[in-house]
């Protein structure tokens, strides 16, 4: 009787689906994360990505110094909305005590988690001892992370890079030491700080971290994740628990639903229709106007039009009308015209 039951037990075990959890946050089988991007992943942009399937999102990164000094820009970035959940607040800084206090302040905004940025490569951040600069001082990184963990009841996660440069790819040590002090998940961008965003992301080190038997927390991969096929390949090849999508989502929030459809059915979902492109652009615009104000919302939306309508014929003149207009109703009418196939024809 025991022998007859054994195959059934094996089959059942093979069908068990592993659900990814960050602390007590359930994210599903293979979550898709929206990467925190400065001047991009604000609430209006996040609303569009959430509507298209993003499983976990983050605020733009927030300066710890700005937060503790009550700077308006930093405080504004703490705005989160119920429909965005789960959502994390991402902090960066170079001073341990400032990060401790910033985490306490961020916790009061009631996000679902706190994320620490140890990956930003830009000079204004890294050359001031924050972001990716901490990859050059692992003891300080560990101490800073522990201070943040001790100052909040929320799960604390980290986003970082492979190392400072080619000769110091220390991500395996970083992963072990940060796990040992209690982080709940780690997101790794597959480049060094020196690389910035040049060259191809190297996922082999991300795979090494994920397949390290000591590592028990979720490992999310980031870098050049720009297609459904790549998501499947990265999952199968490196075993990551999920992927973080950044630049590929700009003007293309549908990438989240396309990846999910491909992973479930093995087939490509048809691309967004003109109606869907216009609807997403309108949603983004209206959320920007509501969250900021009509003047700032309209101004900041101008950089997004080309992304939403990339490849459209005769779009140059229509785009010029969109970016020149300061009237919300006029902009909405131009977007309606795009849906109806009415473009400002270029002279030939």
Which residues are annotated as catalytic?
120
Q: What is the token pair recorded at 144?
A: 């800073």
Do the beta carbons of residue 160 and residue 171 sit within 8 Å?
A: yes
Distance, CA of 335 to CA of 102 (rounded, Å): 41
Q: Which of these, 297, 293, 292, lies nearest to 77 by C-alpha position? A: 292
Using CB atoms within 10 Å of the CB of residue 313, give its burial: 0 to 12 exposed, 13 to 18 middle, 19+ buried.
exposed
Please identify which residue in the block is written with the tokens 């620490």: 116
Helix axes 294-301, 274-291, angle to 10 degrees: 140
Q: What is the token pair recorded at 164?
A: 């400072």
Q: Which of these, 78, 88, 79, lies nearest to 31 by C-alpha position? A: 88
Q: What is the token pair recorded at 330?
A: 């006029």
Cα dihedral value 27, 42, 220, 149, nearest 10: -80
Q: What is the token pair recorded at 324?
A: 């020149």
């Amino acid at each position: 009787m025991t022998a007859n039951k054994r195959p059934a037990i094996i089959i059942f075990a093979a069908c068990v689906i592993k659900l990814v959890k960050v602390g007590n946050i359930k994210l599903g089988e293979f979550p898709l994360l929206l990467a925190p991007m400065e001047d991009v992943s604000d609430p209006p942009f996040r609303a569009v990505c959430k509507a298209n399937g993003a499983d976990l999102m983050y605020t733009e990164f927030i300066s710890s110094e700005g937060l503790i000094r009550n700077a308006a820009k930093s405080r504004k970035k703490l705005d989160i909305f119920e429909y965005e959940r789960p959502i994390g607040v991402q902090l960066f800084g170079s001073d341990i005590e400032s990060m401790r206090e910033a985490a306490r302040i961020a916790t009061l905004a009631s996000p679902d988690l706190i994320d620490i940025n140890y990956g930003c490569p830009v000079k204004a951040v890294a050359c001031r001892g924050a972001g990716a600069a901490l990859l050059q001082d692992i003891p300080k990184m560990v101490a800073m992370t522990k201070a943040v963990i001790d100052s909040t009841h929320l799960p604390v996660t980290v986003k970082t890079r492979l190392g400072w440069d080619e000769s110091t790819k220390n991500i395996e040590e970083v992963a072990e030491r940060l796990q040992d002090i209690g982080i709940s998940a780690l997101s790794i961008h597959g480049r060094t700080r020196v690389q910035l965003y040049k060259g191809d992301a190297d996922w082999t080190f991300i795979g090494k971290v994920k397949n390290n038997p000591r590592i028990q927390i979720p490992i999310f991969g980031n870098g050049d994740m720009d297609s459904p096929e790549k998501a499947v390949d990265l999952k199968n090849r490196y075993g990551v628990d999920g992927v973080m999508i950044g630049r590929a989502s700009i003007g293309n929030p549908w990438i989240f639903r396309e990846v999910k459809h491909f992973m479930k059915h093995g087939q490509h979902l048809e691309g967004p229709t003109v109606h869907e492109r216009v609807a997403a652009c309108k949603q983004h615009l209206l959320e920007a106007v509501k969250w900021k104000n009509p003047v700032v919302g309209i101004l900041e939306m101008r950089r997004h039009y080309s992304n939403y309508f990339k490849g459209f014929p005769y779009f140059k003149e229509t785009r010029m009308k969109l970016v020149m207009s300061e009237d919300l109703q006029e902009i909405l009418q131009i977007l309606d015209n795009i849906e109806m196939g009415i473009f400002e024809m270029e002279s030939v």
